[in-house]
Amino acid sequence: MARNHSNGKLSGKKLKKKPEIFLDKDSDFASIRLADGIEAKSYERDGFVFLEDRKGKIIEIQILNLSKLADGLKRTA
């Protein structure tokens, strides 16, 4: 049996790809959005802020002192 109808075009739909990266050089800040969700908990470790949903899944990572991180990476390379 042949299929003579379509279910719609996929090309017409906008698909969001993760991770989404936000960079603000003026504020020396970057954010990496890993998954959709609502923040239930956040904590800071070594200049990084981790945001978790209520299931404990990390949905976003924020880098607080981006220039300091870049300087440290240059020294170790």
Q: Partners of 21 in the beta sheet?
A: 32
Query: What is the residue range of 64's domain?
Result: 20-76
Confidence of residue 9 (pLDDT cuts 50, 70, 90): low
Task: Report the predicted TM-score, pTM, of the whole model to 2 decimal places.
Answer: 0.69
* Residue position matching structure tokens 């954010």: 31
Residue 14 within a domain? no
Residue 3 within a domain? no
* Residue position matching structure tokens 């978790």: 52
**Number of domains making up the chain:** 1
Distance CA 75, CA 43 (A): 27
Residue 72 within a domain? yes
Residue 57 within a domain? yes
pLDDT digits 0-9 by tens, 37-73: 999 999 999 889 999 999 999 999 999 888 887 777 6
Lowest mean pLDDT among 10-19, 23-32, 47-56: 10-19
pLDDT digits 0-9 by tens, 63-75: 988 888 777 767 7
